[in-house]
Amino acid sequence: MTRNKKPQVEIDAAKHHAALARAEGGPQYEYDPTLTAKGCYRFGVRTMSGLFICYACKHRNDGIPRVWTSGAVCTELYLSKDNTYRVVFNAQRCRECENFGRFKVQEKKYVDRVLDIFALWTGQREAHESTGPHKSTGPHDSDRCYGCYKGICPWSDDDEDDSNDKKKSKKTRRRRRR
């Protein structure tokens, strides 16, 4: 088991490629863990759903790791002209202990979503009716999201959210670094 290793803040999705390649429309894509935004055909940041497990909280919780689900895991997608691609998830920190949790994606949902995005990017399907930024329901804890920390999280891009501090200039908010 890998649970003694420190959770990563940027999780490469290479291990989910096998599932993607098996799915309908998937075999045309090949995984390339070295792809970067520079020189790749399409790059985008979307949200995915999955869950985080905090083993650091185990000792204070009767030996049970803390688990939370998120419908807004900040996820980077890269696609090259040769149909090689790369996906990177950004981790979230635990509310109780501020350590990053270990990420588990819902693989079926992940595969469907990635293939759907790539089909749009490669012109294999039309855009859906609502083409605005993807919206998830529920709160997003920006202070504990590594994508928000990097300033790339699609969540902080949400123009229609008029709650709390969103009325302030978002541009300056997003440039702010800790």
91 near Zn ion (CB under 5 A) = no
Closest separation between CB of residue 158 and Zn ion, Å?
10
Which residue among 20, 78, 148, 158 contacts Zn ion (CB under 5 A)? 148
145 near Zn ion (CB under 5 A) = yes
Closest separation between CB of residue 80 and Zn ion, Å?
26
Which residue among 31, 73, 114, 147 contacts Zn ion (CB under 5 A)? 147
CA-nearest of 149, 158, 155 to 176 is 149
Neighbours of 96 (CB within 10 A): 13
CA-nearest of 50, 8, 4, 5 to 146 is 8
Closest separation between CB of residue 1 and Zn ion, Å?
18
What is the per-residue binding string for Zn ion in 30-69, x denoting contact by CB under 5 A? Answer: ------------------------x-xx--------x---
DSSP string, 140-169: --GGGBHHHHHT--GGGG-TT--SGGGGS-
Distance CA 63, CA 133 (A): 39
Amino acid at 92: Q
149 near Zn ion (CB under 5 A) = no
Which residues is 103 bridged to in the sheet?
52
What is the per-residue binding string for Zn ion in 93-112, x denoting contact by CB under 5 A? Answer: -x-xx---------------
HEC letters along 21-61: HHCCCCCCCEECCCCCCCCCCEEEEEEEEEEEEEHHHHHHC
Closest separation between CB of residue 149 and Zn ion, Å?
8
Which residue among 52, 78, 103, 155 contacts Zn ion (CB under 5 A)? 155
User: Which residues lie near Zn ion (CB under 5 A)?
Assistant: 54, 56-57, 66, 74, 94, 96-97, 145, 147-148, 153, 155
